[in-house]
């Protein structure tokens, strides 16, 4: 815990992203991975394997764009750098350690908001009502990082679509009283907009995201399941697997938290 606190205060980070909690969350994810590596590794390996399979379909290999790539755990960065002339890792924050790993592999780091909405949310979101916030998120245009120098031949969204509005919604709810369902509405709007943005790209697309969340008792019985109807990609997924994201007792002393993950390539 002390190490995490020190890293949080000593790591350079744009104030707006620190304010929304993105630096804190990156550091916390690294700590959760360290505690639960055996439970997470099958998911990370499945994500990497699907991305490499998709990369093999590319007839042109000028540029690969990997979104939400600040931590790199679920991405085959070094292998892709051997396949593409340019690999761009896009995220809001690239801490010094991951940035060094990217440089050693031959990849570029780009500061990029995949939702396209965060600067406006930070600038005036606390003055907008819930309906206006939902419209803003649903209509945002993320564009492309300048580092891609045009349309990428491979674009990867791995374990990102459902997370785009998680921290912004929490921040907005702290700023003023909101409807109880604001977080769910913004999450769904951002995910739908992200899937539309992804589909508009001209290269090979990869989407990896959870499609359901469930709680499983110690004896393996299903305690609850929540399906994310807005999370699905086009057609049938190329692969499905389970990510035990919080094994007992990480989040609960009696239940495992699992994500049902699906991956699409088109």
Tell whether the model's pLDDT for residue 253 goes beyond 90: yes
The predicted pLDDT at position 100 comes to: 97
The predicted pLDDT at position 7 comes to: 77
The predicted pLDDT at position 229 comes to: 82
Strands (E), the chain: 63-67, 86-91, 108-111, 154-158, 204-217, 222-227, 239-246, 255-265
Q: Over 71-113, what HEC string results?
A: CCCCCCHHHHHCCCCEEEEEECCCCHHHHHHHHHHCCEEEECC
Mean pLDDT of 28-51: 97
The predicted pLDDT at position 4 comes to: 73
Go through the domains of the chain in sequence order and give each one's CATH number.
38-265 (3.40.50)
Query: What would the two tokens of residue 254 be?
Result: 């009696």
The predicted pLDDT at position 9 comes to: 77
The predicted pLDDT at position 231 comes to: 81
Mean pLDDT of 166-178: 93
pLDDT digit string, tens, across residues 182-209? 999 999 999 999 999 999 999 999 999 9
Q: How many CB atoms lie within 10 A of CB 232?
A: 17
The predicted pLDDT at position 175 comes to: 87
Mean pLDDT of 94-111: 97
The angle at the Cα of 32, spanning 95 to 174, to the nearest 5 degrees, equals 75
């Amino acid at each position: 815990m002390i190490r995490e606190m020190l890293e949080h205060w000593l790591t350079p980070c744009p104030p707006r992203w620190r304010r929304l909690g993105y630096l804190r969350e990156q550091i916390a994810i690294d700590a959760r991975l360290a505690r639960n590596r055996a439970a997470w590794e099958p998911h990370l390996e499945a994500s990497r394997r699907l991305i490499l399979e998709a990369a093999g379909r590319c007839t042109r290999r000028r540029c690969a764009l990997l979104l939400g790539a600040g931590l790199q755990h679920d991405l085959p960065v070094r292998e892709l750098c051997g396949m593409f002339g340019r690999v761009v890792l896009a995220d809001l924050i690239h801490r010094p350690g991951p940035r060094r790993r990217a440089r050693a592999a031959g990849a570029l780091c780009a500061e990029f908001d995949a939702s396209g909405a965060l600067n406006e949310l930070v600038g005036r979101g606390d003055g907008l009502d819930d309906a206006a916030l939902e419209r803003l998120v649903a209509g945002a245009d993320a564009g492309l990082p300048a580092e891609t120098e045009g349309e990428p031949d491979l674009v990867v969204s791995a374990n990102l679509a459902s997370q785009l509005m998680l921290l912004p919604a929490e921040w907005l709810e702290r700023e003023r009283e909101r409807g109880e369902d604001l977080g769910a509405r913004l999450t769904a709007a951002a995910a739908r907009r992200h899937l539309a943005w992804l589909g508009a790209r001209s290269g090979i697309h990869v989407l990896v995201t959870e499609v359901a969340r469930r709680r499983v008792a110690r004896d393996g019985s299903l305690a609850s399941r929540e399906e994310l109807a807005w999370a699905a990609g086009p057609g049938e997924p190329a692969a499905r697997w389970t990510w035990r994201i919080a094994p007992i007792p990480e989040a609960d002393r009696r239940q495992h938290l699992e994500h049902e993950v699906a991956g699409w390539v088109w």
